Chain A
């Protein structure tokens, strides 16, 4: 009974999003209210417990949203300048081989875009490009959806991984190695699945070696970046590594080249320079020891909390909430990079009049709905933690699943992403639960959390909201069911692969 009551807020979110197609902001609010009611009525959470839980939730929310807001701002800066379109238009010049195009554009470029943007950008940008190259609308939507899935956790400039750290209070050097390893293996498998989606098993046989080579290069690039503290540009650097290798590789598998028009190399370089700025600022802040230390001492928000206990005796020990070091926060790095990128594109004359206003207005309009969703789900997760509901869920799971838990962990992450629409939200809702269950069962916490975020990344691409975005831009509006059916098999096999890796590593 305790387990069912603790599960109720999650069940509410699942039912509303999947059954009634509610958005994350509405369903998140309903889940939060359910958690509040259950915590007060059945778990003995008094006003003092709730007050401190909400204050801690606020710190987590600020930490997560700083990145989301700034990441979207950078995307708007580049999109308004036409930089993303410029990069995308250059790629078909390299090869006419259909399978190679699917790898280069639907996988490598999609991973790069996920690294710098996310928010459905890879599918929204790439699906129309693939349709223009002659792919069927169904393939044009499925290929980039699967293609970018492995890059979600360390993509969107690290927002999902940041949420994982925030929800578990574990640092990057504990979480990144296993997470990058899981996702790297998934990445190699994704390349082969993209080939299958493009041209079936014949393409997989014909382009097996280039696909594996590209997968290894991107996986290693992401792994090295993430474990070196550059987790916020992990997928970006992974995707960039892939592009660097894919371009000469595409020349090797050119197929029958037609006329794609003239390639303006200078324009492509200017388009990429906005992102080069991000890499330069990130490297400067994260890798220069004096700079990193100095920035970490100023403008620090640290709030201490006392020990609190529910009426039923569940105790949360005293300690600080999420510490936010504003000057070296990934959100600040992104904000500064956005400003510098804006100045570069403006100097190059790439903006129409009024671009600045459109960029800011577009950013605020787009992120506010997501911000309400994040604030609700973070508040729900933290209230559940402090009321002992997460603990009750973890104990119930541990008792029912037992030694098979590592195999179940990625499916929980995938379920969380499917029902909330994002890897970030899945990590916010489930990471603490997974952490606690791992502790109870004696498994390595980092391994289970890696399975959580890998499942969340792979499962996020079949979330109903993501499917709708992809279907609408690829000419599949109204046929979302076809898209989901085709993707379920690919996504299911990827999450099953994560289960096997988790079991082997446990």
Chain B
């Protein structure tokens, strides 16, 4: 079984957690270096996406 399939099946919360905490690191450095707004919004997408997913995982 591929790693992503394994994680999606057995470790949903771990995957969601990573989606929520890793992008903010990129957000900080992008904002510090004057990245365009589009980049910042793009980095927010996985955080929001992870949250949407979390709403459906019991």
Contacts and interface: CB of A to CB of B under 8 A. Distances in A.
Interface in B31-57: 31, 37, 40-41, 43-44, 47-48, 50-52, 54-57
B21 to A, nearest CB: 6
B21 A50 contact: no
Interface in A201-221: none
Contacts of A376: 20, 51, 54
A114 to B, nearest CB: 25
B45 to A, nearest CB: 11
Contact-residue size bin, chain B (C-beta under 8 Å from the other chain):
20 to 34
A55 B29 CA distance: 9
A58 B17 CA distance: 11
A33 to B, nearest CB: 5
A248 to B, nearest CB: 46
Nearest to B11: A368
B24 A29 contact: no
A372 interface: yes
B6 interface: no
Contacts of B14: 364, 368
Contacts of A369: 13
- Which of B37, B47, B48, B51 lies at the interface centre, i.e. has the most chain A CB atoms within 10 A of its CB? B51
B27 to A, nearest CB: 4
A124 interface: no
Contacts of B4: none
Nearest to B14: A368
Interface in A2-35: 23, 25-26, 28-30, 32-33
B6 to A, nearest CB: 14
B51 A29 contact: yes
Given A46-B37, A54-B27, A375 B57 contact: no
Given A51-B43, A55-B24, A376-B54, A33 B17 contact: no
Contact of A58 (B11, B24, B44, B56): B24
Contacts of B52: 29, 33
B44 A47 contact: yes
B44 to A, nearest CB: 6
A89 B20 CA distance: 43
Given A36-B48, A46-B37, A51 B28 contact: yes
A201 B41 CA distance: 62
Nearest to B20: A375
Q: Sorted from nearest, which 6 A-B pairs have the closest CB atoms?
A: A47-B40, A29-B54, A55-B28, A368-B13, A51-B27, A54-B24
